[in-house]
Amino acid sequence: MWLHGFTQTKDSAHQFRTILAGTCEVVILDLPGHGENAAIKASLDETADLLAEALPDEPFVLGGYSLGARVALHFALRHPNRLRRLVVLGASRGIEDPVQRAERRRRDEGLAIRIETIGTSAFLEEWLAQPMFATLPVDPIERAWRSSDPGGLASSLRLAGTGTQDWLAPRLATMAVPTLALAGANDEKFALEAAAIAAGVAAGVARLVPDARHAAHLERPESSAAMVQEFIA
């Protein structure tokens, strides 16, 4: 099961998913606030529970990128017996300092208002202009698969943004699910997070995707998929 990132949809990362599909069945769906599920409003914990209701009872491998990775972490903490393995790319444990966490919620609220004001097309131009996406290839197909509902994206930020996430580091120590924490080698902040996540769980490993920033699976789909396949095997 692969979970997409913020502004993406289940159809995003087609090349990466196609490579994975060569060795396993890949299941996809739209997260709340995105794509076909734009009208669904849910927190990270609520999203994890919605996934638990929607997915098969038999253990599976769960993976996700950025927003999807944070959802995957919450799923693993709430429903550990449902997973064989966990893969997170560009994941965050949350923000430890309550003041900084509150500031992040204010920033996310500002972004939510911005989306509602200027619409998704203009917002995506601003979103993808961030330094973390500076080396992302220009791909019209990937762009067309981005979510287009401003209200849905705004609700995702308000209910499931990084500022809403609890500090997960203490709880990760209780998690026994074998975990692969990935990050782009040039994505310094999240490379440190990947190392911390891998060190914080009982059976964790961190890998860096060479020559990639935040969206490593879009920049280097072959390398990213190979690391995931190796871990699953």
Average pLDDT over residues 203-222: 98
Q: What is the pLDDT of residues 55-96, one digit of tens each?
A: 988 999 999 999 999 999 999 999 999 999 999 999 999 999
Q: Is the model's pTM score more than 0.75? A: yes
pLDDT at 42: 98
Closest listed residue to residue 232, CA positions, set 109, 110, 83, 118: 83
Region for residue 134 given its phi and psi (left: phi exceeds 0; alpha: psi -120 to 50; beta: otherwise): alpha
pLDDT at 57: 87
Closest listed residue to residue 77, CA positions, set 156, 164, 198, 169: 169
Q: What is the pLDDT of residues 190-203, one digit of tens each?
A: 999 999 999 999 99
Could you tell me which residues come within 8 angstroms of residue 68 by beta carbon, excluding any fewer than 6 positions away? 2, 3, 4, 5, 31
Domains of the chain: 2-232 (3.40.50.1820)
pLDDT band at 215 (very low <50, low <70, confident <90, very high): very high
**Residue in this structure with the two tokens 């923000």, named with its chain if needed:** 95
Task: Please state the φ and ψ torsions of residue 196, each to the nearest 5 degrees.
Answer: -70, -40
pLDDT band at 209 (very low <50, low <70, confident <90, very high): very high
Q: What is the pLDDT of residues 136-177, one digit of tens each?
A: 999 999 999 999 999 999 999 999 999 999 999 999 999 999
pLDDT at 37: 98
Compute the distance between CA of residue 165 and CA of residue 157 in angstroms, rounded to an integer: 11
Whole-number average pLDDT of the chain: 97
